[in-house]
Amino acid sequence: MNSMILHLNTKDNPMKLFLLSIFILSSLIAKEEVIQISRFVYNGDIHYGKIIGKSIQPLENTIYKKLINKGTPIPLSMVKIILPTKPQNVFAVGMNFASHLASSSTQAPPMFFKSPSSLILTGKDIQLTQDATNVHFEGELVLIIGKRTKNIKEINAHKYIFGVTVGNDLTERNWQGSDLQWMRAKASDGFGPIGSKITIGLDYNNLLLTTKLNGKIVQQENTKNMIHKPSKVVSYLSRYFTLMPGDLIYMGTPGRTQKLSNEDVVSVTIEDIGTVKNTIYTFDK
């Protein structure tokens, strides 16, 4: 970018130089607005903090209203990172990418519940039950609600999304097909791997999602291809449920999925957000 500026003739192209300078300044400002927040334990107490390099800056317990620094930064090596929120509800969207399984964009988004107890942090091992013999990965964008939300119009729904993270909607396909509801198939313990950071300030409607199985890319698609966009989903849910700060919404998976085997390592990465990575242990050894 600097070399481009040096090669401009400022006498012949003063307006071009001015516009380019504005573009560079705008880009820098936009980057500075992207913030990553983690929830952590330090000296026995739970805090939120802003990630700054290898340190975390503690924040007042008002993050959903305003980010206010509290005290001084702490080395990340001295804290224990925990789940990014403590949600009352965890929702999920099905059939939200045509490459996986399409639903009609003119209809309501297909929704289901996951349980807060299904959540498990990146880096943790996942031990499946003996009868979970057909568990598949599903890499997904995850929304974090930031305000009490009820009966919100779609045009205003983005104001109620605090940030985003990355998740893996693990699914037992046999149970999904046989059970009355998807509760066991989608919401069993450990079936909600999630990243450790809440990212705010990103355009979450245009991010590359990549899932890897034992290092090999098995899913890759941009979130711009979501059939039901985040604002539509939040607005729809708010008709029937009161969404609360910290509630999560898994936004659906792209592409194909496949059965996981013992000691498989699944990672889901979304650009500029981070990675959720877990090792799966089965009884099929």
Q: Which domains does the chain have, with CATH numbers?
A: 35-82 (2.30.30.370), 90-281 (3.90.850.10)
> How large is the average pLDDT for residues 136-157?
98
With cut-offs at 50, 70 and 90, classify the pLDDT of residue 30: very low
> How large is the average pLDDT for residues 97-112?
94
pLDDT in tens, 157-167: 999 999 999 99
pLDDT of residue 19: 62
Inform me whether the pLDDT recorded for 73 exceeds 90. yes
Residue 276's SS3 state is strand
With cut-offs at 50, 70 and 90, classify the pLDDT of residue 13: low
Q: Report which of 78, 69, 75 is spatially closest to residue 48, judged by C-alpha positions.
A: 69
Task: Report the distance separating Cα 272 and Cα 30, nearest Å.
Answer: 13
pLDDT of residue 127: 97
Does an H or E element contain 213, and which?
A: strand 208-213
Inform me whether the pLDDT recorded for 24 exceeds 60. no
Amino acid sitting at position 268: V
Q: Give percent of the chain above pLDDT 90.
A: 87
Averaged pLDDT score across all residues of the chain: 92
pLDDT of residue 52: 97
Strands 139-145 and 161-168: antiparallel
Is residue 279 within 8 A of residue 120, CB to CB? The reply is: no
Is residue 62 within 8 A of residue 218, CB to CB? The reply is: no
pLDDT of residue 102: 86
**Radius of gyration from C-alpha coordinates of the chain:** 21
pTM of the full predicted structure?
0.89
